[in-house]
Amino acid sequence: MPLTDAPPKWADYPDKEVTTIQNPNIHDAEAQQLSPQTLALAVLGWVLEDGERAERYLDLTGLDADSLRGGLNDPTVLASVFDFLANHEPDLIRAAEALAVTPEELIAARQELTS
């Protein structure tokens, strides 16, 4: 393998096996799913990591940085990030891919948060 400044990729090691590590205290695959609140925070992080997307989210929701910070425990504020994605399918799909969930799981989490 040539020496470069780039970090190695898994493709550089075709003979290596990838191992998934799971919490040994959780034996049920369903229990390993993220809670709707945790998923909302992960989605929020994804939304805010892009400046233009973050600005669009804040503009469309009417939130500002202080109200967003203050509402991180508020189901309505958390649900707003799912609504934001649901209203722009390309972002919904990209967020799902980035978080290794399905778009349907994101929508279901929103419904669970507000029920």
Asked if the structure places residue 100 within a domain, the reply is: yes
Question: What pLDDT does residue 31 have?
Answer: 41
The domain total for the chain is: 1
pTM of the predicted model as reported, rounded to 2 decimal places: 0.71
DSSP 22: -
Q: Is the pLDDT of residue 36 over 90?
A: yes
Asked if the structure places residue 8 within a domain, the reply is: no
Mean pLDDT confidence for 81-96 = 96
Asked if the structure places residue 22 within a domain, the reply is: no
Asked if the structure places residue 15 within a domain, the reply is: no
d(CA 99, CA 87): 18
Are 44 and 110 in contact by the 8 Å Cβ rule? The answer is: no
Q: Is the pLDDT of residue 25 over 50?
A: no
Which structural domain range is residue 47 located in?
35-114
Asked if the structure places residue 13 within a domain, the reply is: no
Are 91 and 53 in contact by the 8 Å Cβ rule? The answer is: yes
